[in-house]
A and B are shown apart, each in its own frame.
Chain A
Amino acid sequence: MPLVKVPRPSWGEKLRRFFLADMLKGMWLTLKFNLGALTDKDSVRGFGIYTEQYPSVRPQVAPRWHGAPRLNMDPETYESLCIACNLCALACPEDCIDVIPMDIEVTVAGKPRKKKVLDEFIFDTSRCMFCALCQEACPTACLELTQEFELATYSRAGFVWNREMLEQGRETRKFEA
């Protein structure tokens, strides 16, 4: 009186069991992967190695992927492109950008004038959701979200990027292969 209805094995099934067909199938699969790892390095036929050596081999991120922020500079004069217009801070849905301007004295056509320039730029990456609306808002193509993805730090304070970090990039220890 079986509690669960188990179909009686057919002769083919019995033969498969006798010759351990399923076990051999499993062993053939692992052997294929083992031989594939030795011959087929980049997993061309699907039986090679899938993993990559991360710090020395870096993955290609998708083109629309947003990562670490950067403040671009004029490539010739090395002056910040930022005009302290505050549009990025206004565009930011997370309110994670603080633009701190300062007034400097300049002479325009022989007359002394005041000009608003960037003093400090605070970008809190711990609150950022990488929507890149700030990048869209920037009129001078200064603020940009790059493809850099190594954002981990040892402390919460490390997530808050200042102007120097945004312009020079954060100091990271690079792996030497």
Chain B
Amino acid sequence: MSLFALFAPPNFLNGLLLKFFGQETLNYVVWPFIQIGAVITLVAVWALYASYLERKISAFMQARLGPMRVGKWGLLQPIADAVKLLTKEDIVPEKADPYIFRYAPYIAVAATFLTFAVIPFAPDWGVITDVNIGLLFVLSISSVGVLALILAGWSSNSKYALLGGLRSSAQMVSYEVSMGLSLIGALMFARTLSLSGIVDAQVADRPIPYILFQPLAFAVFLISGIAENNRAPFDLPEAESELVAGFHTEYSGMRLSLFFMAEYAAMVVVSAVAVTVFVGGWYFPGVFWLSRGSANLYVILSLFVFVVKMALLLYLYFWLRWTFPRYRYDQLMDLGWKWMIPASLLNVVWTALTVFLVQALDGWRGIKTIESLTRGLNMTATGKGVAVAMGWLGLLVAAVFLALLNHRSRDFNLKKQRREIRLVDVPKGTPAVATTAAAAVTATENA
């Protein structure tokens, strides 16, 4: 994705740049640098304006107006904030570990910004680099971000920051499992880890987004993604009512804003991966026809489609944050380990069954389900129908499975307590009353 290309066709720009660089240098050094620059600029601007959007949307949902003073509709508010944060004193607490404290924000930002390298924003020159382990790259690099939070929490030498860091590590580690597992189903259909390859597999022949095959995985991925980003309703690491501000309690000024930048950029990463894997990436029906054979226009329109799809998911982030209250810590772990991970594991099994079924049906009584295996599992309309039906049936199966699995999970913690609770003589059929020691004594005296 190159910003300049929005104003000039890359071919023209390519010719211009060829006067200064050799073809090889241009392809492998200059163009990537232009793309990287454009992506970093845009993501940084997004991180600025995400704070504005957050404040505006939260205000609207609470029947308020939000920032209105700086510029028209408060549009310059993020810039005023940035100036304020940049000019603030860079405070390092006296007892903090100064080096780790200083470098933790950089790790957070670097980890999230690195993942943008493999995301296919659009076809052709809309991809910075197409790695054949793209999805693994995203998952592994984004989990380095946890390290930054732990380091920040630990080096601050503050109890709130430390607790926030510990919470974030536990939370992110447990939700990463379900996040990774939920993507496996889509990979079974795409048969590749390259993100461009996954989009290609969805677009091939009869385009179909994988959300139709994998509704359960999509839901699990979204929920885990929100939890992974420490966004409400899973913002335990920075629960302001308990932990002041969590891991960034001691941070101020530029370093604080770096953490925020990392958070908002991570939101973009998760929604970009969700769009790429489940919602068909940059593809939208009719865009190819609309571009009238112009390759550059096609790329730009695809880029627009990608951004719109991503914007819808990003709105969901804000929407959920300002609708739902925060989970309690044990509820969070419950949801992660007892619901999300079993659901994603079931999805893996169920998808394997689906793929098996589709392959078994192929050639049975003249039914043809598979067209080719060149660009992912390329199915005919019948095969797609079977896969979609199985996918949505999987939701029901998952509901039954999870209900059975968690049937009595709530009771487990109460076992020990129940042994200690004795019934005071109450007639049968009335609910029992939990007694304290003092109440038991008075009860025996009365008897």
Contact = CB atoms under 8 A, between A and B. Distances in A.
Interface of A: 1-5, 18, 23, 26-27, 29-31, 33-34, 36-38, 43, 47-51, 53
Given A30-B319, A38-B60, 11 more contacts: A1-B423, A3-B431, A3-B432, A3-B434, A4-B431, A27-B319, A31-B319, A34-B61, A34-B319, A48-B63, A49-B60
Interface residues of B, number: 22
Contacts of A1: 418, 423, 432
Nearest to A23: B324
A9 to B, nearest CB: 12
Contacts of A34: 57, 60-61, 319
Interface in B220-241: none
A127 B164 CA distance: 49
Interface in B50-83: 57, 59-65, 68
Question: Which secondary structure dominates where chain B touches chain A?
Answer: loop
B404 to A, nearest CB: 14
Nearest to B64: A51
A5 B426 CA distance: 14
A4 B323 CA distance: 29
List of 4 A-B pairs having minimum Cβ-Cβ separation, nearest first: A37-B60, A50-B63, A5-B431, A30-B61
Given A3-B421, A26-B324, A43 B432 contact: no
Interface of B: 57, 59-65, 68, 319-320, 322-324, 399, 418, 421, 423, 431-434
A43 B63 contact: yes
Contacts of A51: 63-65
A18 B397 CA distance: 12
Contacts of B421: 3
A92 to B, nearest CB: 41
A139 to B, nearest CB: 47
A4 B414 CA distance: 13
Of the candidates B418, B431, B433, the one having the most CB atoms from chain A within 10 angstroms of its own CB is B431
Contacts of B61: 30, 33-34, 37
Contacts of A29: 323
A36 B63 CA distance: 9
Given A1-B432, A3-B421, A53 B324 contact: no
Contacts of B434: 3
A62 to B, nearest CB: 23
A36 B253 CA distance: 35
A36 B319 CA distance: 14
A53 B65 contact: yes
Contact of B64 (A26, A27, A49): A49
Nearest to A4: B431
Given A18-B399, A43-B63, A48-B63, A30 B431 contact: no
A26 B60 contact: no
A31 B399 CA distance: 27
A47 B62 CA distance: 9
Contacts of B423: 1
B200 to A, nearest CB: 34
Contacts of B60: 33-34, 36-38, 49
B59, B63, B423, most chain A CB atoms within 10 A: B63
Contacts of B63: 33, 36-37, 43, 47-51
A23 B319 CA distance: 12
B63 to A, nearest CB: 4
Contacts of B320: 27
A5 B322 CA distance: 33
30 contacts: A1-B423, A1-B432, A3-B433, A3-B434, A4-B431, A5-B431, A23-B324, A26-B323, A26-B324, A27-B319, A27-B323, A30-B61, A30-B322, A33-B61, A33-B62, A33-B63, A34-B57, A34-B60, A34-B61, A34-B319, A36-B60, A36-B63, A37-B61, A38-B60, A48-B63, A49-B63, A49-B65, A51-B65, A53-B65, A53-B68
Contacts of B59: 37
Contact of A30 (B68, B323, B399): B323
A78 B399 CA distance: 83
B445 to A, nearest CB: 23
A50 B319 contact: no
Contacts of B65: 37, 49, 51, 53
A23 B327 CA distance: 14
Nearest to A41: B65
A27 B319 CA distance: 7
A50 B323 CA distance: 18
A53 B434 CA distance: 54
A1 B63 CA distance: 46
A37 B431 CA distance: 49
A33 B60 CA distance: 6
Contacts of A27: 319-320, 323
Nearest to A19: B399
A14 B65 CA distance: 39
A33 to B, nearest CB: 5
A1 B64 CA distance: 48
Nearest to A18: B399
Contacts of A26: 323-324
Contacts of A50: 63-64
A60 B94 CA distance: 52
